[in-house]
Amino acid sequence: MTATRGQANVVGVALLLGIGVVAIGLLTASVGGLVDAQIATADADAAADGFSSLRDGVAAGANDSYPIRVTDGDLSRVNRSVRIIPEAGANRTYDADGYVADLGGQRVAFVGGAVVRGTGDRAVLVTPVPLSFAGDAAFLTVPVLTADATDGGGLGGGAALRTRTTRTVTDLPTDGYAVAVETATPDAWERAFEDRGFETSRADFDGDGTESVVAVVSGDRTLTVARYDLAVVVDRG
């Protein structure tokens, strides 16, 4: 074997080893990314289930604890309003606020009386809209976070949301009504309202850059508003 041929063999082996190392690294990164994505998806499933249970419990006026069984994530309180806009009479504005769970790039929110999963035009409501009608009556559920409700924090390690709820029911007279829900996911709310037979539009009432989806109740109806003042504490396991 000549010196040149020997050097070529050494270089070839080194190249093959280098290619193998790179390939293993890429495979490891790919598998790791897939595992992280699967964990984030499972966490989003758990958060959506927990928020949905909380929503149902609030509507029932229950004081209870609702597990958010995620491996890791952050809960934050967001400033949101719900408005009732009659054709006659004064508007009513509820500083409802809400919660957003950020879970490894996945987003789940409990805002305006519904649970929303995802962002942008891919977001979807996983619970019904809080507005309904039957005959000559319409009904609206408005959860309102109290001043002492938690501002959020970490969700890992078996966190649960413990609630204390106070309900106030107001019967509004026959009128033409629209309801506006301030949201970072207007596409999802529009689709959900329209699927329930409401005409929709958008407006930024307070100029903060977060739009409200306005759902119009067709015809003149009474409106029963069930407001739930909701105190929330995060219990961490």
Please give the mean pLDDT across all residues of the chain.
88
- Give CA–CA dist 69/158, Å, rounded: 5
Q: What is the pLDDT of residues 158-203, one digit of tens each?
A: 789 999 999 999 999 999 999 999 999 999 999 999 999 999 999 9
> Is 184 within 8 Å of 210 (Cβ atoms)?
yes
Task: Please tell me the pTM assigned to this model.
Answer: 0.83
Q: What is the mean pLDDT of residues 149-159?
A: 87
* Domain assignments of the chain as residue spans, ordered by start: 36-236
Least Cα distance to 65 among 78, 75, 50, 76 occurs for 50
Task: Please give the average per-residue pLDDT across 116-135, as a whole number.
Answer: 96
Task: Tell me what percent of the residues of the chain surpass a pLDDT of 70.
Answer: 84
Q: What would the pLDDT profile of 36-63 be if each residue is shown by its tens digit?
A: 567 778 899 999 999 999 999 998 888 9
Q: Rg (Cα) of the chain, in Å, rounded?
A: 25
SS (H, E, C) 90-157: CCEEECCCEEEEEECCEEEEEECCEEEECCHHHCEECCCCCEEEECCEEEEEEEEECCCCCCEEECCC
